[in-house]
Amino acid sequence: MIKDFVVYVLSDSVGDTAEQVARASAEQYQASNYEIKKYPYVESKLKIDNIMEDLDPKNSIFVYTIVNQEISEYLQAICQEKEIHYIDVMTESLNAFTEFLNEEPTRESGIIRKLDEDYFKRVEAVEFAVKYDDGKDPRGILKADIVLIGVSRSSKTPLSMYLAHKNYKVVNIPLVKGAKVPEQLFEVPRKKIIGLMIDPSDLIEIRRERIRVLGLDNSVDYVSVEKIYEELEYAEKIMRKIGCPVIDMTKKAVEEAANLVIDIINDLN
């Protein structure tokens, strides 16, 4: 029985999966002592050759998650040649999935890590959109990837949230006649700012429905035809001053508008 042994954990990504498998297995043998040597980002045959130097095949075992087939097969061949025990965590699993799905794997390393990073970026973007929604704190303008400006009920908030789920940090700023425009709007690159306009008749209907839902008086300035035209004229004036691209939100679904915003931002950057 081997009393002391070394577990070599290799991966072409960070190696957390292989390490967890190795530890969970090794801990089942209380009569032996072990050491784990972890080697992440093993992406070349030379790195494998360097790891193989000066190790004792008799008290070594390899546990690895390498999705690159050439590198994986190379490591397996060396282990067999040197009579080193090894556990190829990925290959058997990939073979089973390939047979089940009748589809070849991408063999891209670090996919789980990338998915995790993408998830946390999305959560951060959503929290950002909520924090800086509707001009709550204009300081967010300087931190945002995208700044949406427009009059009330021009779909700024739903568009902000949709873009946040695409990992963009979005601030939306209402343009209200008589209210001071945040100075930060003139401090950021105008290529980050998107103006939202909407047909007056559509805006009137949207606002009247909003008033009805809230149970308010339909005669308030919020739904006044004259005031709405003044608001839109004022908003257009600010957008021209900034020099930002403008999207007509009339009859547009949020998804369609979001794609337009992303296209504009990508073209300008």
Alpha-carbon distance of 246 to 170, in angstroms, equals: 16
Neighbours of 45 (CB within 10 A): 13
Alpha-carbon distance of 174 to 149, in angstroms, equals: 6
Q: Annotated binding residue at 32?
A: no
Contact 204, 231 (CB under 8 A): no
Strand order in the sheet with 193-197: 170-174, 146-150, 193-197, 246-248
Contact 79, 88 (CB under 8 A): no
One-letter amino acid of 177: K
Q: Annotated binding residue at 154?
A: yes
Q: Annotated binding residue at 220?
A: no
Q: Annotated binding residue at 261?
A: no
Q: Annotated binding residue at 157?
A: yes
Helix (H) or strand (E) holding 74: helix 69-82
State the helix-helix crossing angle for 254-268 and 156-164, rounded to 10 degrees. 70
Alpha-carbon distance of 113 to 116, in angstroms, equals: 5
Contact 247, 195 (CB under 8 A): yes
Integer-rounded Cα radius of gyration of the chain: 29
Q: Annotated binding residue at 151?
A: yes
Annotated binding site: 150-157
Annotated binding site for ADP: 150-157
